[in-house]
Amino acid sequence: MIRKALFTTLLLLLTYSLFITVFRSSIRRTAQTVEQRNTVKAEEFLYENGTQADTVIVGSSMSNRLLFDSLPGHNDRYYNLALEGMASVDGLHLIAHAGYKPKLVLVEINTLDRMPDTTFFGKFTETGWSQIREYVPFMRLKYQPIGVMKALLRDWRGGASDDIVETVDTAFVTRLVQKRLSQTNDRPDDKALQQTIDKADTYIQELQKRGTKLIFFEMPTDPRIRNTNVSRRLRELVDATFSNSAYQHIPYPTDTYQTTDGIHLPRNECIRYTRYLYEQLSQSQTISQPTSTPNR
């Protein structure tokens, strides 16, 4: 009886593994919460297609919205590792841990005032479990059966499109901006800010030693938010730590961008800023024709 149960379980696991292999390209957006979405994105980067890209973007929910698939013929060369509710340092930490050597890493500076989330990172350094997830796909959060079935059913019903038009309520945005101003306009603690920047710098130095180029960019925000004491001081310390003589910085756009809450761009503005980034990189000849697969 026990032997039969074990055989049945093994058969089911093998069948599900085959299902994942066959339908992998159709299995997407299986996560239900922000934490799950971040975990799935990190899993995909570490164990699937992330290390095939020659350009990786790290940042927060602001740059998570960048849409590199809006660039014809270039979407496979980019991997957006920006994590919702987290920061650039978390993505840098994952890349450094993976032993991966991308050609280019784009670093969002807006959240360089945050320390890494060690609890999140711990999921990918557990002894034994990381190796199991790498070689046994059904052990990853992305492929948990309930999430997969819900995602496939949703897409089958026609809910796979991400082309959602976001309307901007200016009165609502103004209220949110005023609330953020009351929280971020105090004089920042320079020592604490520098410590967080230095933490990111440890990973940046490690990636540079591998031959990776790092370029800094700032996501557009409401001008009132951008001119707070904290934002201004953060930019000053970032410029001092990562000087223009040693690192490339994408110029902040002169055009005005709409936001949905003071810091996040709606989809159409995300597409516009993605193209702006691409144009700036092209002008500096940072972007070249597709090259061979990066090394791990």
The pLDDT tens digits of the residues spanning 72-117 come to 666 568 899 999 999 999 999 999 988 888 999 999 999 999 999 9
Residue 243 lies in a domain: yes
For 55, the 3-state DSSP assignment is strand
- Cα–Cα distance, 257 to 266 (Å, whole number): 9
| CA angle 131–134–140, rounded 5-degree value | 110
- Residue 239 in domain: yes
Residue range 264-283, pLDDT digits in tens: 999 999 999 999 999 999 88
Please state the domain count of the chain. 1
Average pLDDT, integer, range 149-175: 67
Whether the full predicted model's pTM is greater than 0.85, yes or no, is no
Side by side, the strands of the sheet bearing 78-80 are 78-80, 55-58, 104-108, 213-217, 248-249
Q: Can you give the residue range of the structural domain that contains 40?
A: 30-116+167-283
Query: Which residues, at least 6 apart from 195, have a Cβ–Cβ distance to it below 8 Å?
Result: 115
Residue 140 included in any domain: no
> E strand or H helix at 215, and its extent?
strand 213-217
Question: Above 90 in pLDDT, residue 28?
Answer: no
Q: Is residue 122 domain-resident?
A: no
The CATH number assigned to the domain holding 88 equals 3.40.50.1110
Could you tell me which of 197, 200, 193 has the C-alpha nearest to residue 94?
200
* pLDDT of 169 above 70: no
Q: Which of 82, 33, 76 minimizes the C-alpha distance to 59?
A: 82
CA distance 183 to 16: 49
Alpha carbon 6 to chain centroid distance? 40
Could you give the count of Cα atoms lying within 13 Å of 95 in the half-sphere of its Cβ? Answer: 40
The predicted pLDDT at position 84 comes to 94
Supply the pLDDT for residue 26: 62
Q: Is residue 16 part of a domain?
A: no
In a domain, 293, yes or no: no
For residue 262, tell me if it sits in a domain.
yes
Domain assignment present for residue 104? The answer is: yes
Instruction: Report how far residue 255's alpha carbon sits from residue 196's, in angstroms, rounded to the nearest whole number.
Output: 30
